[in-house]
Amino acid sequence: MSKNNWEDSARSSVSSSESKSDEQKLIESAQNGNKTAFGKLIRMHQKRLFRFVYGLVNSFDMTEDLVQETFVKAFEKIKTFKTGYAFYPWIATIARNSAFNLIQREEKKESLDKLTEVGFNPQTVELGALDKLLDDENKKRLYKAISALPVKYRTVFIMRNFEKMDYAEIASYLKIPPGTVDSRLHRARQMLLNAVKDLL
C-alpha cells in the first residue's frame, strides 16, 4: 500500500471511529433526558428508516405515522438501550415490529395480483444489478411487484437488497433460522421473476 493510500485509509478509519464515538455520546446524553441529543440521533438515521418502513408497508402516509410512532417509542425506551451497540438496528427493530403489527391488522392477505397499487419510488431505493436491466417504465412494474409480495418474503428481499444485510443479520433480526432466510429470499425472487417475466 502506498503512503497516500495508507493515509487515506487511516483518515477513513479515524473518521468512522469518530462518528461512532459521536453517536455513543448522543445516546448517553439522550439516556439522561437530553431531547436535543435524541433529535440529532433521529436525524442521522431517519432517511434510511423511512425507506425501510416504506418498503414494508407501501404507503407514504402509513410510513410517516409508523416512523413518528417509532421515534416516540424509541425515546420512551432509550434508557434500555445497551451502549456500545449501533443505534440503527435497535430503532429499526422497533419500526419493524410496529409495521408488522399494522400489516397484520390491515393487510392479512397479500398477493402478486395487486400490481395496481402504488409501488416504490425508483428514485429512493437501489436494486443493484436488476435495476440496470430495466428502463424507467419497467422499473415501476418491478417495484409494484416487490410491494405486492407477501410480507414475509418482501421483508427478507428488502433487507437483503436495499439494507444490504447478510443472511446472519437478517436471521438474527427476524428471529428465524438462516436456512429460512435463504428459502424466503429464493421464493421472493421466483415470485418477482414470474410477476415481471414478460419484461425479461
Q: What is the pLDDT of residue 180?
A: 92
Instruction: Read off the CATH number of the domain in which 101 is found.
Output: 1.10.1740.10
Q: What is the pLDDT of residue 54?
A: 86
Same domain flag for 63 and 116: no
The whole-number pLDDT of residue 91 equals 93
Is 49 domain-assigned?
A: yes
The reply to whether 3 falls in a domain is no
Distance set, CA 103 to CA 34, 57, 98, 151, 187 (Å): 33, 7, 9, 8, 20
Residue found under cell 428481499? 157
CA distance 1 to 140: 44
Q: Which of 108, 132, 148 is the last residue of a domain?
A: 108
**Whole-number Cα distances in Å, 39 to 33, 70, 71, 89, 198:** 11, 13, 9, 17, 46
pLDDT lower than 70: segments of the chain: 1-20, 104-139, 199-200
For residue 138, the model assigns a pLDDT of 67
Both 115 and 148 in one domain: the answer is yes
Phi/psi of residue 82, each to 5°?
-85, 115
- Please tell me the predicted confidence (pLDDT) of residue 39: 93
The identity of residue 191, as a single letter, is M
> Last residue of a domain, which of 55, 81, 108?
108
**Is 7 domain-assigned?**
no
> Which residue, among 43, 106, 97, has the nearest Cα to 70 in the 3D structure?
97
Q: Are 200 and 193 in contact (CB under 8 A)?
A: yes
Q: Model's pTM, two decimal places?
A: 0.62
> What range does the domain containing 127 cover?
110-200
At residue 8, the pLDDT reads 45
Angle of helix 136-147 relative to helix 151-161, nearest 10 degrees, comes to 130
Contact 165, 173 (CB under 8 A): yes
Q: Give the pLDDT confidence score for residue 27 in this predicted structure.
A: 92
Query: Domain with 163 in it: what CATH number?
Result: 1.10.10.10
Reduced to 3 DSSP states, what percent helix, strand and coil does the chain have, rounded to the nearest 5?
75, 0, 25
pLDDT, residue 199, reads 66
Question: What's the chain's length in residues?
Answer: 200
> 3-state class of 112 per DSSP?
coil
- Residue 82, judged by CB atoms within 10 A of its CB (0-12, 13-18, 19+), counts as exposed
* DSSP secondary structure, 119-156, as one string: ---TTT---THHHHHS-HHHHHHHHHHHHTS-HHHHHH
**What pLDDT is stored for residue 107 in this prediction?**
52
Which pLDDT does position 15 carry in this prediction?
43
Helices and strands in the chain, H and E counts: 9, 0
